[in-house]
Chains A and B, each alone.
Chain A
Amino acid sequence: MTIKKCKIAMILSAALFTATQPAWADITVGVSLSSTGPGAALGIPEKNAVALMPGEIGGEKVNYIVLDDGTDPSAATKNARKLVTEDHVDVLIGSSVTPSSLAIAEVAVESATPQIAVAPINLPPEKNKWVFRTPQHNDVMAGALVAHMKQAGVKKLGFIGYSDAYGEDWLTSVKPLLDEAGITLTTTERFNRTDTSVSGQVLKIVASRPDAVLVVASGSPAALPQTALKERGFKGQIYQTHAAANPAFLKVAGAKAEGTIMPIGPVVVVDQIPDSHPSKKVAGEFVAAYEAKYGAGSFSSFAGHAYDAYHLLAAAVPAALEKAKPGTAEFRQALRDALESSKDVVGVHGVFNMTPDNHFGMDERGRVLIRVEQGGYKLLPM
């Protein structure tokens, strides 16, 4: 290579380098979602929702950098590091499932970047400072279910859940509530998302003679214990968690899903919730926009969780902009402070009120109980 060619190459690469750098003062949002791998059923609608986020907040242009972590915590860590060190993002959004969201939280805390997780992760207080979540805390959801069990006179409950952090979190959330309500757990069984059979676990549950069974799983894998229980002739009430509320679960479980009760965000039954519900309008608009772009019936509650990250940002960014310029450590600090003081921020899943101790922010307005009827959801009065 001659010297002249060398120079041209250098200029070109320099030009390329500056072109990929965002213009000064744009807000950069780094997104890492599980749009492939075992969490893809959650990550794909979430990625779709990110594509619907407006490109401007408070008069500033917003750049979204969306990466896929393949539901792999180490890939999520790598993504988060790249977003923080190379792209100098102002806020991290992600990830879709608990394990990879925990991985991103490590980077968020270390690099002092606010994170909005789309999975309900639990963190020790010292790590909690920079991390906010859009989904309802499992306590909120479990509370609704246990209240229903108590009302229905359930005394003994069988439990079958994922053998991962989601199953474990639910068990720790639901246990104290059950004790309080005087409901005993007859057996605690585990299964994996990719299992082809849960006959053993289901036999054990049925043999322990519970009044009702709680299944803690997400999407279509949640249909496996559901169908196995019905096939073994279990007649009691089956409860599912909000992660099961998607079209794939209904499709795979078919008629065997009838009568199942689950807690979900109001957005999933937006046309059934009363007009007085604070989220009715934003949720209705979002579902309409989502289905207009991705087809009727394509909406799932996960898209709503991702979009609530935008609602939180839209409320917090203007306050942070007054204090500092995007792209600086001061801005990230100001954004974190603004997120923590979110007051009555209306999202599609409910209303957020963040405090230093509560980085979930959703209260009972963020959940409703539904029953599966004729392959659709029917809102239950609470």
Chain B
Amino acid sequence: MDFQIALFLAQDGITGGAIYALLALALVLVFSVTRVIFIPQGEFVAFGALTMATLQAGQTPATVWLLLGASAVAAVIELWRQGRRGSLATTGWRDAAKLLLYPAAVVALTLALPLADLPNIVRVALTLAIVVPLAPLMYRLAFQPIAEAPVLVLLIVAVAVHVALVGMGLVFFGAEGTRTEAFSDASIAIGPLDISGQQIWVVAASAALILALWRFFSATLYGKALRATAVNRNGARLMGFSPVFAGKLTFLLAGLIGTLSGVLIAPITTIYYDTGFLIGLKGFVAAIIGGLGSFPLAAAGALLVGLLESFASFWASAYKEVIVFTLIIPVLLWRSLTSHHVEEE
């Protein structure tokens, strides 16, 4: 192995690491606010990438119908809830209609737009508009009713949601993978390295998103409120910050991060309906390195996972996954020896 190959591998590792970093951040965020280990995170990557690919093919992605269907279920639940409370006539119908307004608009927009000749940036926006709202809806349907359940129950529900979404992905997008068109075909040559425009996009967008999240959590009221919820849920509730709203906002952010990651990597690799799980799992390894609580450590861990994966695939490709996932064992050992964690429950 010479210096040039090492450079290539590092470049590949950093691109992968940037995506894992985003997913790790989302996992840490969701876990610290809602205590949910967000297994379906990877599905947003796959759904984002495949929705984008379907739009580029000029077809209506089936995810819009999922959005409409999930919203309809949420609306029915709202009606039933208000019906039991006796407020059906006053606010019930209005609240239910409000839930359906946004998905109906997205469906109308998707059907009305000439999908085949849209500029790429509009397609990205449309993909985000379709896929991201699925995340808060997921929180409403699957996690909000059991928000106070133990971590293990939440984990099991997360696994169930993941399995259901993977199954839907197969029905929506078929078994074969797709690639999307690159955002730009430009490439920069630095010495022996040939960096493609898309790789720059991935790293730059990841860095920008991480910075934006950091600003959001340190400088905005909502960000601070989310952090407060992460530190002490009951305390935040006493201060008038609704944990339901915190949950929805967190899921919205996680969905945004996942979908954006999917849209970003779709031009450099082939995405299948079930690709998301493995990508999400590697993000999870990174999040574990950060102890599921620290954003900078998780980002550093993600970079480590990306580089390790890239170099392992050069030296011992047959054991690549083994090497990446074995990383978790020394980290867990070290963490369990050094930290004295007190269970809140």
Q: Residues on A close to B: CB < 8 A?
A: 36-38, 40-41, 43-44, 160, 163, 189-201, 203-204, 207, 219-221, 223-224, 246, 248, 251-252
Q: Tell which of B5, B16, B278, B312 touches A194, judged by Cβ atoms closer than 8 Å.
A: B278
A252 touches B5 (CB 8 A): no
Q: Can you list 5 contacts pairing A with B, beta carbon distance less than 8 Å?
A: A40-B175, A44-B174, A197-B309, A203-B5, A223-B177
Say whether A44 contacts B175, CB under 8 Å. yes
List residues of chain B with CB under 8 Å of any chain A CB.
5, 8-9, 12, 15-16, 167, 170, 174-179, 265, 268-270, 272, 274-275, 277-279, 309-315, 317-318, 320-321
Rounded to whole Å, the gap between the CB of A204 and the closest CB of chain B is 5
Closest to B19 in A: A196
Contact between A248 and B12, CB atoms less than 8 A apart: no
B314 A196 Cβ-Cβ under 8 A: no
Question: Are A194 and B272 in contact, CB atoms less than 8 angstroms apart?
Answer: yes
Determine if B313 and A200 form an interchain contact, defined as CB atoms under 8 angstroms apart.
Answer: yes
CA distance A199 to B14 in the complex (A): 12
Report whether A221 and B270 are in contact in the complex, using a CB–CB cutoff of 8 Å.
Answer: yes
- Beyond A248-B177, A252-B177, whether A196 also contacts B317 by CB under 8 A is no
Evaluate contact between A198 and B272: CB separation under 8 angstroms.
no
Q: How far apart are the CA atoms of A163 and B312 in the complex, in Å? A: 14
Sort A-B residue pairs by CB-CB distance and give the 6 closest, nearest first.
Answer: A200-B313, A40-B175, A248-B176, A200-B314, A190-B318, A196-B269
Chain A residues in 8 Å Cβ range of B278: 194
A220 touches B311 (CB 8 A): no
Q: Is the CB of A223 within 8 A of B170?
A: no
Determine which residue in A41, A43, A194 has the highest number of CB atoms from chain B within 10 A of its CB, and name it.
A194
CB distance from A354 to the nearest CB of B (A): 31
A198 to B15 Cα, complex, angstroms:
13
Q: Would you call A252 and B310 a contact (CB within 8 A)?
A: no
Which A residues are in CB contact (< 8 Å) with B167? 36
Closest chain-A Cβ to B276's Cβ sits at a distance in Å of 9
Contact call A199/B12, Cβ cutoff below 8 A? yes
Q: A38-B274, A189-B317 are in contact. Are A196 and B176 (CB under 8 A)?
A: no
Q: A190: which of B5, B175, B177, B317 is its contact (CB, 8 Å)?
A: B317
Is there contact, CB below 8 Å, between B274 and A203? no
The residues of B that contact A194 with a CB separation of less than 8 Å are: 272, 274-275, 277-278
Given contacts A163-B318, A200-B320, 13 further A-B contacts (CB under 8 A): A192-B321, A196-B275, A197-B15, A197-B16, A197-B269, A201-B317, A203-B9, A221-B270, A224-B269, A251-B176, A251-B178, A252-B179, A252-B270
